[in-house]
Amino acid sequence: MYASRLLARSLKQKSPLLRQLLSQKPLARTGGLPLEATARWLATKDDKEARGSGPTTIGPDGNVLEPPVILKVIPFRPVPDLPYDDRNMLLGREMSPHLSIYKIQLTSLLSICLRISGFVLAIFVWALGIAGLCMQGDMEGLVKKVEDCDCPVVMTASRVMLVAPFAYHAVAATRHMIWGLNKFLTIPEIYATGYVAVVLAIAFAAALLVMDVEQKPKEQVDLSKPPPKGKQPPKGKQEKKDTKADPKAKAKKHDDKH
Q: Which CATH number fits domain 104-210: 1.10.10.10, 3.30.428.10, 1.20.1300.10, 3.30.160.160?
A: 1.20.1300.10
- Does residue 52 carry a pLDDT above 80? no
**Where is pLDDT greater, at 150 or 204?**
204
Domain boundaries, the chain: 2-65, 104-210
Residues 148-160 have a mean pLDDT of 82
Indicate the pTM of the whole model: 0.47
Band (115; pLDDT cuts 50, 70, 90): very high
Residues 22-42 have a mean pLDDT of 52
Residues 131-153 have a mean pLDDT of 77
What pLDDT is attached to residue 45?
47
pLDDT tens digits for range 182-213: 999 999 999 999 999 999 999 999 999 988 65
pLDDT tens digits for range 72-95: 888 888 878 888 888 888 887 777
- How far apart are alpha carbons 124 and 213 in whole angstroms? 20
What pLDDT is attached to residue 213?
57
**Where is pLDDT greater, at 235 or 45?**
235
**Where is pLDDT greater, at 139 or 23?**
139
Alpha-carbon separation of residue 161 from 154, 156, 203, 205, 208 (angstroms): 11, 9, 15, 10, 12
**Where is pLDDT greater, at 44 or 97?**
97
- How far apart are alpha carbons 127 and 139 in whole angstroms? 13
Q: Are 110 and 194 in contact (CB under 8 A)?
A: yes
